[in-house]
Structure 1
Amino acid sequence: MENAVPYPSEQRLSLSQLLRSLGPGIMMAAAAVGGSHLVASTKAGAIYGWQLAVLILLVNLFKYPFFKAGVQYTMGTGDSLVEGYAKMGKPYLWIFTVLAVFSGIVNTAALLMFSASLLSYFIPFELSMPVLCGIVLATCLIILFAGHYRALDTLSKVIMAVLTIAT
């Protein structure tokens, strides 16, 4: 197979090397698992039971080729998907950029509100949602600006491991 990327079979990664190499990808996956996955899907399961199982399987079946194509492109060319969109022309790159910025803002806002609503259950006094969101956002920024990216990375990996085992 001429288009295949050779995999060095004699090179084995230790568990710690593997976990280190997953870094930002695990953080992105942890961020992608938001309120919809933890709350809405659980509620839908309680309401509809197994009635939605076929729909869930079909959605994942239809999504798979797109995820696979992205991985194959990056492995086959060595370019990122953004570089691939740029090679296709500026309109594709602009469409990607607009969609990425929009979804990033919406996802961040949703996760911020979800985290703030969880925080409201753990504090003994009542604060408004904007204040709680500000507290969560400020805490995250302080952790990052204080140089504790590694702590955030480790915490994300632990959360993803727990979610993987629990679900």
Structure 2
Amino acid sequence: MSEEIEIDTDDLQRRMEGAMGALKTEFASLRTGRASASMLEPIMVEAYGQKTPINQVGTINVPESRMVTINVWDKSMVGAVEKSIRNSGLGINPQLNGTIIMLPIPELNEERRRDLTRVAAQYAEHARVAIRNVRRDGMDQIKKAKADGMSEDDQKFWETEVQALTDKFTGLVDTALESKQAEIMQV
């Protein structure tokens, strides 16, 4: 068979980049002792009968390094926003001031820092699993192409390409994890 069968490595790379993007978002939600609006991104609020991201029910501000404020637009939603923050597992105790919810960011103790590094490691493992799933899809494409008449040399070439892509992205996950854990443990 003279026609060459190609595997769509661009699609595989795009999907692996998506796993990295999700990991970065999850890492941003881990607090490191400094206030950040991004740490509230994963919190969903029960608003008007459906789950809504917290940034769609109020304005999030960081007035100082250890304080986040949320100015809730609808007065009736203040309780729901406060409840969502309490149940989020962030370990932050919201304080109410009318429609403004203040979130003082406490100093992290050593035990909480270790817990957060373990959570970061779990997020990294989820990203690695997602990347390996993309790798598996790529290898399945190669097997199907082999059945459709791909030469053994081409099969080896594409398997090497997919594995190199996988190694590159798992390396990026490991680097991001080391960086995040160092940031969390920094006092």
The reply to whether TM is greater than 0.5 is no
- Higher relative CO (CA 8 A, sep ≥ 6), structure 1 or 2? 1
- Tell me which protein shows more helix as a share of its residues: 1
Decide which structure has the larger Cα Rg and report it. Answer: 2
Structure holding more strand per residue? 2
Length-normalised TM-score, structure 1: 0.31
